Structure 1
C-alpha cells in the first residue's frame, strides 16, 4: 500500500502531521507493507532565502505571519504559541524565534534525490528539525549539503544536484499534480490513490484510513472452495 504525502519543510503542521502519521503507522498491523513517498509543495514559492549565519529577530516569524494573514503581530504570536503547544504534545520542540526565512524549492530537490537513494524519510525529518528546532537556513545550499549528508546522502552528489537543478522538473511535476488533485493546503495524505486526508489529523483518524484502505485491497475471501479449476500448473481432473 502506498501513501503519498504532500508537504513543505517550513510548514509547522506538516511536521506535526508527520509525527501523527508515524504514530498511526506504528499501530498499523501491516506497516511493513506501506510505502511512504514525500511529495513537493511550496507554501511560498516566491520567498527569499536568508544566508546561513544571518541574524534573526526573535519576532521575525510572527511578523512575517502577520503580514501574510493580515493580522497583528500579537495575533500571529498567539498562533505560533498554539502550534508550539501542539508540537510539544507530539514530542517536538518548535523554536519559531530561531526560524530563518527560506525558499524551499531546492530543499524539495534534495528530498527527491533522497527518495532515489532510499533515505527520503531521514532527510525529510532532518530538514524539518533543522528549520523548526535549530534555526538552520534550509534555503542555503551549503547548509542543505551539510544537513543532507548528515542524514545519509553523499555531500558531493547533493552539491551537484543543487548546481545543475536536476530535480527541478520533478518538483514542478509534484506541484502540478497537487493542483490537479485539488490540494491547496498541506500536509495532504493520499492513500493508495483512493483516499485523501487533509491536514494534520489525529493519529486515530489516520489509522482508520489506513485500515479502511487495507481492507479494501485484501484478496477476496473464498466462501466455497474445492471446485474444479485450472491454474498455472494445469487443470484439475
Structure 2
C-alpha cells in the first residue's frame, strides 16, 4: 500500500512558499519519526512566468514597483527568523523559475525532491544565487546528488497549466487527501493534517 500523498504547490521566489514548505517539512519529519508515512508531490507555480532568466536584484524590483521605503522595510524584515531561516532580501536575485522547477521535477523522480526544494529556496533567499543560471543549477544538483534534468520542458509546461486549471492563483498550496491548506500555514496545523492521513 502506497503512502498517503500531499501535493505541494510552490514557487521559489515566493517567501510564503519558503515559510510554508519549511513548516510543512518540519511537520512531515515529526510525522515520520512517529512511524507515519507521507509522500510529497511537488507541483510548479510561476508567480511571474515572463521574468527574465538574467535576473535582477530583488531590492531594485521592490523599489521600482513598490517604492524605496517599502523595499527598505522588506530588506530589514525579520521574517523567517522564528522558523530558523536567514533571508537576505538585499542579496536575492529575482529571476525566472522555470528551470528551477525543471530541476525539482528531475530531483523528485530520483527521490530527492524535498532536499532539492529546500536547497533551491536557500540558494535564492540566503545565498543570492540566480536560480535560472544553468551552471548554478548544475552546481546545486551536484551538491544535492541528483542528475541534472534532460528534457522535461513540455511536461513542466503541462503541469503549470494543470495547476492553473485547478484555480490556484497564488502559492503556496498544500493539497491533502482530506483538505487543503493555503498560505504559509503553521507547524501544528500541518501536524494535525498529517495525523489525519492515518
Do the aligned partners of 1:190 and 1:197 also contact (CA within 8 Å) in 2? Answer: yes
1:173 counterpart = 2:158: yes
1:39-78 alignment runs, 5 A limit: 39-50=43-54, 60-68=57-65, 71-78=66-73
Q: Distance in 1 between matches of 2:70 and 2:35?
A: 40
Q: What 5-or-longer segments of structure 1 have no aligned partner?
A: 216-237
Deviation at 1:94, TM superposition (A): 0.6
Q: Secondary structure at 1:175's aligned position in 2?
A: helix
Paired positions, count: 194
- After the TM superposition, which parts of structure 1 deviate over 6 Å for at least 4 consecutive aligned residues? none
Q: Secondary structure at 1:201's aligned position in 2?
A: coil
Q: Secondary structure at 1:103's aligned position in 2?
A: coil
Deviations 1:8-66 (A, max 9, x none): 11111111111111222233366641001111111110111237xxxx7xxx4233134
Q: Secondary structure at 1:28's aligned position in 2?
A: helix
Q: What 5-or-longer segments of structure 2 have no aligned partner?
A: none
Aligned-pair Cα RMSD in Å: 2.0
Q: Distance in 2 between matches of 1:80 and 1:209?
A: 33
Q: Scaled by the length of structure 1, what TM-score is found?
A: 0.75
Higher relative contact order, structure no. (Cα contacts within 8 Å, ≥ 6 residues apart): 2
Q: Secondary structure at 2:171's aligned position in 1?
A: coil
**Counterpart pick for 1:9 among 7, 12, 18:** 12
Q: Distance in 2 between matches of 1:25 and 1:31?
A: 11
Q: Report which of the two structures shows the higher radius of gyration computed on alpha carbons.
A: 1
